[in-house]
Amino acid sequence: MKGDDQGHKEQMDAEELSSPSGAIIYKAVLKEGVDELDRPSSALFWSGLAAGLSMGASLIAEALLAHYLPKGSWTPLISKLGYSIGFLVVILGRQQLFTENTLTPILPLLQDKTMTRVSGVLRLWTIVLISNLAGCLAVAWACSSTTVFEQPVQGEFASIGQAALEGGFWVHVSKGIFAGWLIALMVWLLPFAESARIWVIIILSYLIGLGHFSHVVAGAVQTFYIAVTGQAGWGEVLATYVAPTFIGNVIGGVALVAAINHAQVVSGKPKEAGAFHSADYSKATT
């Protein structure tokens, strides 16, 4: 009996030390998606507005770093670290960011392909995206109209905005796919990242900034600034940047991460992976 107890303890220790399986990560993200779909519209709006405001920290931090660093080919390697600040605030603060929601609510939808679930996802996306963009607009207006930032720093705001706007419709769709993919990967990794959570957020968001990949919320702060200051037209910003980036982010998050991870976890292993149906959501959340 003593040997059996020792063997059981060793088995438990091995399970604790082993990496979580894809099925366990899937269930954790699924639970979060169900929780988000159940949240009231007012809660989603205020959380989304807070996220849009918080993403302004990315523009401000990047511009300040670019202003105070010596100019050189290496400067973006440091200044783009500022791009990660908004993501840190939003994700660690549990605020609603649209690109996170290209993954989390899609898993419940893939499990329960009903019009009720579709309407729930559309409600979530609409409220969060609109509130995110409203927060971005408020930050862009504040940065352009306040005397807090010196003229050279505002010049950096403009340079960042102009760089974000460069490229045509399909360029931003393509760049948006990469950004949506990286953000959704971030969401997939975070549930069991534990003490590495901060580094996961910094590294993946830094790659988005350094690669000039188009992110519909972070980029909205940047491009709204040049629209507010009259350096670009609103039609150009919305049609050339926001719309194609939205499309790319959705493709990257939904098709490349949510659908693929759903397939690799659920396909062929319904019992082991816990291929839930609508009646099983309560079990997934315990």
Q: Give the model confidence (pLDDT) of 224-277 as tens digits.
A: 999 999 999 999 999 999 999 999 999 998 876 666 666 666 665 544 444 444
Tokens found for residue 226? 């040049």
Q: Around Cβ 171, how many Cβ atoms within 10 Å?
A: 16
> According to the model, what pLDDT value does residue 84 have?
97
Residues 100-116, mean pLDDT to the nearest whole number: 83
Residues 78-90, mean pLDDT to the nearest whole number: 96
109 versus 173: which is more confidently predicted? 173
Sorting pLDDT into bands at 50, 70 and 90, what band is 109? Answer: confident
173-191 confidence digits (pLDDT tens): 999 999 999 998 898 888 8
Contact at 8 Å (CB) between 217 and 52? yes
Contact at 8 Å (CB) between 216 and 176? yes
Question: Which CA distances in Å does 110 have to 60, 98, 107, 255?
Answer: 38, 18, 5, 12
- CA 240 – CA 24 distance, rounded (Å): 40
- CA 234 – CA 50 distance, rounded (Å): 23
99 versus 214: which is more confidently predicted? 214
Q: Around Cβ 168, how many Cβ atoms within 10 Å?
A: 9
- CA 106 – CA 103 distance, rounded (Å): 5
Contact at 8 Å (CB) between 276 and 111? yes
The second-level CATH assignment, the architecture, of 29-284 is: Up-down Bundle (1.20)
Helix, strand, coil shares of the chain, percent, nearest 5, are: 80, 0, 20
Which of 196-203's residues contact partners 24+ apart within 8 Å by CB, and which partners?
Answer: 197/92, 198/88, 198/92, 201/84, 201/87, 201/88, 201/91, 201/92, 202/81, 202/84, 202/87, 202/88
Find the farthest-apart pair of alpha carbons in the chain and give their distance in angstroms, rounded: 79
45-69 confidence digits (pLDDT tens): 999 999 999 999 999 999 999 999 9
> According to the model, what pLDDT value does residue 211 have?
95
Domain ranges in the chain are 29-284
Sorting pLDDT into bands at 50, 70 and 90, what band is 22? Answer: low
Tokens found for residue 162? 């102009």
- CA 267 – CA 275 distance, rounded (Å): 9
Q: In the block, which residue shows the tokens 């993403």?
A: 55
> According to the model, what pLDDT value does residue 15 have?
47
